[in-house]
Structure 1
Amino acid sequence: MTTGSDKKRFQRISVLGAGAWGTALALTAVRAGRDVLLWGRNSENLESISCRHALPAYLPGITFDKPIETTTDITEAADADCILLVAPAQTTAKIAETIGLYVAKGTPIILAAKGLEKGTQRMMSEVLSDYLPQAVPAILSGPSFAADVARGLPTAVTIAAPRMTLAEELCASLSSRSFRPYASTDLVGVQLGGALKNILAIACGIVMGKQLGASAHAALMTRGFAEIQRLALKLGARPDTLMGLSGFGDVALSCSSRQSRNFSFGYALGEGHDLSNLMAPTAKLSEGAYTARVAVELANRNGIELPIAQAVADVLEQNTTIDEAVTKLMSRPLRAESDHIQ
Structure 2
Amino acid sequence: MAESKSRLLYILKYLWQNTDAEHYATTADILAFLKGNGISCDRKTIPGDIAKLCDIGIDIEEERSRENRYSLSSHLFTLPELKLLIDAVESSKFITVKKSAELIEKLSQMTSIHQAAELKSNLYVSERVKPLNEQIYYLVDNINTAINRGKQISFRYFHYDQHRKEVPNNDGKRYFFSPYCLVWNEDHYYAIGYSEKHRKLGTFRVDRMKEVEILSADAAAKPADFNLPEFTRRVFDMYDGETKKVMLVCKNDLMNYIVDRFGDEVDTVPGDCGHFRAVAEVSVSQTFFAWVFQFNGDIRITAPEEVVLQYGEMLKNALQT
- TM score, norm. by length of structure 1: 0.21
Structure number with greater CO (CA < 8 Å, separation at least 6) is: 1
Task: Report the structure number with the largest CA radius of gyration.
Answer: 2
